[in-house]
């Protein structure tokens, strides 16, 4: 049995959206959401910086064999064997990541393990539980206390506007493990 239903009366169009349950105006969402986890402050800063740009992710259960290249930031938690080339972009090697790869990126942050040479056009950071076994080439290096590094470091002068790209670089020797009680340092 079907009943004829009277058409609904025309609804007035409100300029302001309302909560359908309470018929009250919606509250605006804050411009920035606060992260309230027990994460390292550096991780939070990196996550916020990465959120400003498109970031691809390789999860912890993924294993990639071959070359990876692209034009967006990349966060790796899984296993990668090959070459990672993200010219001018940021690569974050997560705490569970294992890279057996050479890396070329604009900025590289290592929380996990990297076996291979790393070239960071802007800077390379090795966090306290991070490990790099290979040669580093960058304009700025930060190695936190507790990080593991074995290899050589070549510091390239950053090429600013009008800068000479043929400026010779200098090579800095770094100890395989940081000195006890040493603060993070930038060269």
pLDDT tens digits in sequence order for the chain, 187 residues long? 555 555 555 555 555 656 555 666 665 555 544 444 444 555 555 555 545 567 899 999 999 999 999 999 999 999 999 999 999 999 999 999 999 999 999 999 999 999 999 999 999 999 999 999 999 999 999 999 999 999 999 999 865 544 444 444 444 445 444 444 445 555 5
pTM over 0.85: no
CB 134 within 8 A of CB 113: no
Cα 169 to Cα 17: distance, rounded to the nearest angstrom: 59
What residues contact 108, with CB distance under 8 A and at least 6 apart?
Answer: 90, 91, 92, 93, 118, 120, 123, 124, 125, 138
């Amino acid at each position: 049995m079907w009943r004829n239903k009277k058409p609904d009366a025309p609804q007035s169009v409100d300029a302001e959206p309302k909560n359908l349950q309470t018929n009250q105006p919606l509250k605006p969402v804050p411009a920035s959401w606060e992260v309230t986890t027990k994460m390292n402050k550096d991780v939070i800063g990196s996550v916020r910086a990465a959120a400003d740009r498109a970031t691809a992710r390789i999860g912890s259960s993924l294993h990639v064999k071959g070359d990876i290249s692209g034009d967006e930031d990349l966060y790796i938690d899984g296993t990668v064997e090959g070459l990672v080339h993200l010219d001018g972009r940021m690569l974050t090697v997560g705490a569970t990541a294992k890279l057996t790869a050479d890396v070329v990126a604009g900025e590289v942050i290592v929380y996990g393990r990297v076996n291979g040479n790393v070239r960071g056009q802007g800077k390379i950071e090795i966090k306290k539980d991070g490990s790099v076994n290979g040669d580093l080439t960058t304009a700025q290096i930060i190695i936190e206390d507790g990080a593991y590094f074995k290899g050589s470091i070549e510091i390239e002068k950053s090429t600013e506007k009008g800068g000479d790209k043929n400026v010779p670089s200098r090579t800095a020797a770094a100890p395989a493990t940081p000195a006890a009680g040493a603060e993070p340092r930038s060269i």
